[in-house]
Amino acid sequence: MHPHSDSQHPHGGFLRRWLLKLHGVPDAHAHAHPSLDTEGLTIDWARLYDLLTRALLMRRQGKYVKSILALAQIQPGETVLDVGCGTGTLAIAARLNAPEGSVIHGLDASLAMIERARQKAAQADANVDFQPGLAEALPFADATFDLVMSSMVMHHLPGDLKARAFAEMYRVLKPGGRLLVVDFEPPANPLVRAFLTQLLGRGMLSIDNRTLPPLLKAAGFADVQLGKTGSRLATSVSGVKVGNSDE
């Protein structure tokens, strides 16, 4: 069962239904939208996603994105891939803040998300290559990227798909390349947990990012670390592809 599955959800209140949609839980009343065929969940209502994300994070969204970029430490001339880029917020911010010569790519299984990301990039005059694709089957050659990053995506993938996605991320990284994964961290505060449980269900609060480091190590990553971000509701996991760029 997916972490967000809860038999009580489909008939919940209006707010709960929209918050569940924010996290990719299918709505029996919703119209179908185009996505690539994947075993993971996708989110296809891009404009509403942006509105709800801003409403939920309020002024914290900019701080959250900046904290990820601070962890990513993009260097001049590096080629970067954002896996599960959604509407492109992180990839666009990376393009606008990255050093000279860096190249940013964004990939998502939802065609609606890619369309919205391209629109936002054009409005921001940010040169980002957005294209549809699957985390478990990245459409790139081996050793293409210096950095692969992914934000709030892994909890949408079943365990076996996570392992395949990490293997693909390892494959497309150059020797010495870096992986940065950021995902939802259930709050420790019992009152906040109770509130989010009512909104999102028990499944979302069962996410355990401590399960991710073993998957990175199994994919071949070294120097795997579990760390903090600029938000108490997000945890980072990082690793490095063995070898060096001179090989």
The domains of the chain are located at: 14-241
Q: Which two tokens stand for residue 164?
A: 């395949």
Long-range contacts of 208-215 (CB under 8 A, 24+ apart): 209/183, 209/185, 209/235, 209/237, 211/159, 212/154, 212/162, 212/181, 212/183, 212/237, 213/237, 215/162, 215/163, 215/166
Q: Averaged over 9-37, what is the pLDDT? A: 45
Please report which confidence band the pLDDT of residue 204 belongs to, taking 50, 70 and 90 as the band edges: low
Please report which confidence band the pLDDT of residue 15 belongs to, taking 50, 70 and 90 as the band edges: very low
Q: Is 26 exposed, middle or buried (0-12, 13-18, 19+ CB in 10 A)?
A: middle
Strand partners, 183: 235
- Would you state the pLDDT for residue 140? 98
Please provide the CATH number assigned to the domain covering 14-241: 3.40.50.150
- Would you state the pLDDT for residue 233? 74
Q: Which residue has the higher pLDDT, 110 or 191?
A: 110
Q: Averaged over 181-187, what is the pLDDT? A: 79
Q: Which residue has the higher pLDDT, 69 or 187?
A: 69
Q: Which residue has the higher pLDDT, 216 or 12?
A: 216
Q: In whole angstroms, what is the distance from residue 247 CA to residue 244 CA?
A: 6
Q: Are strands 234-241 and 103-108 parallel, antiparallel or unpaired?
A: unpaired
pLDDT tens digits, residue range 28-81?
333 344 555 555 454 544 455 555 555 555 456 678 899 999 999 999 999 999
Residue pair 73/102 in contact by the 8 Å Cβ criterion? no
Q: In whole angstroms, what is the distance from residue 152 CA to residue 156 CA?
A: 8
Q: Please determine, for residue 119, whether its predicted confidence score (pLDDT) is greater than 80.
A: yes
- Would you state the pLDDT for residue 114? 95
Q: Which residue has the higher pLDDT, 232 or 224?
A: 224
Q: In whole angstroms, what is the distance from residue 83 CA to residue 117 CA?
A: 13
What pTM, to 2 d.p., does this model score? 0.76
